[in-house]
């Protein structure tokens, strides 16, 4: 699907048909584990994360598990995905949710989201954007959502700077990870082994903060 979309000049058009096929039981959505990201949970526990009514944004929310985890910690959560089918399934899975699930485009977000969120969480979205201008544009958008004093947490597959990108999902080189936090202050940076994958894969877990002033 991704190759066909790229060949047609619409490199993001494959998400909606994939989610539709997944809902029909005709395809597997590789990143949809139906549980919150263990890296998000570990980071949240390590930092004693509590929302206390502050605003959080989940980028490329998929089937909603990460958004629900942040809502359970007291955040007022907005979660968006490019695929209407994904957003619809979130509503079906969590009918009593407090999360505001919306269809949205990382490359063309609404102006009201600029510096509007105390926590922005991105996992596995930038890594499925084609390497080049589309990926660079998506990465650059992430920091724009972070409010003064707020944080951005990024989880993604990792590669060395000189490694070839390989095949989808294309891991992030260190420079691409840094671009996600452009204009923000690096706060936490780790490379971890994800043993839930076989074979294990390298992942970045990195957070950035916008100064309060």
Question: The pTM is what?
Answer: 0.94
- Homologous superfamily of domain range 31-209: Vaccinia Virus protein VP39 (3.40.50.150)
Q: How far is CA 52 from the centre of its chain?
A: 22
Please state which of the ranges 11-15, 158-162, 203-207 shows the lowest mean pLDDT: 11-15
Buried b (16+ CB within 10 A) or exposed e, 132-170: eebbeebbebbbebbbeebbbbbbbbbbeeeeebeeebb
Q: How many residues does the chain have?
A: 213
| Cβ–Cβ < 8 Å for 2, 29 | no
d(CA 7, CA 208): 35
Q: How many CA atoms lie within 13 A of 26 on its CB side?
A: 6
Q: What is the pLDDT of residues 184-209, one digit of tens each?
A: 999 999 999 988 877 889 999 999 99
Domains of the chain, residue spans: 31-209
Residue 26 has pLDDT above 70, yes or no: yes
d(CA 158, CA 204): 6
Residue 87 has pLDDT above 80, yes or no: yes
């Amino acid at each position: 699907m991704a190759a066909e979309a790229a060949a047609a000049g619409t490199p993001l058009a494959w998400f909606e048909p994939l989610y539709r096929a997944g809902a029909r039981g005709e395809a597997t959505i590789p990143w949809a584990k139906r549980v919150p990201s263990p890296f998000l949970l570990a980071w949240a526990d390590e930092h004693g994360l509590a929302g206390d009514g502050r605003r959080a944004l989940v980028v490329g929310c998929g089937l909603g598990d990460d958004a629900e985890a942040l809502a359970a910690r007291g955040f007022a959560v907005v979660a968006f995905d490019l695929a209407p089918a994904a957003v619809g399934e979130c509503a079906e899975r969590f009918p009593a949710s407090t999360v505001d699930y919306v269809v949205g485009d990382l490359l063309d977000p609404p102006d009201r989201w600029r510096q509007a969120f105390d926590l922005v969480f991105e996992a596995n979205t930038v890594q499925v954007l084609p390497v080049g201008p589309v990926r660079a544009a998506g990465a650059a958008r992430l920091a724009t959502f972070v409010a003064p004093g707020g944080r951005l947490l990024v989880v993604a597959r990792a590669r060395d700077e000189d490694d070839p990108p390989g095949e989808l999902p294309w891991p992030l080189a260190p420079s691409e990870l840094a671009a996600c936090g452009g204009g923000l202050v690096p706060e936490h940076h780790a490379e971890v082994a994800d043993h839930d994958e076989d074979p294990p894969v390298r992942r970045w877990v990195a957070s950035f903060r916008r100064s309060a002033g």
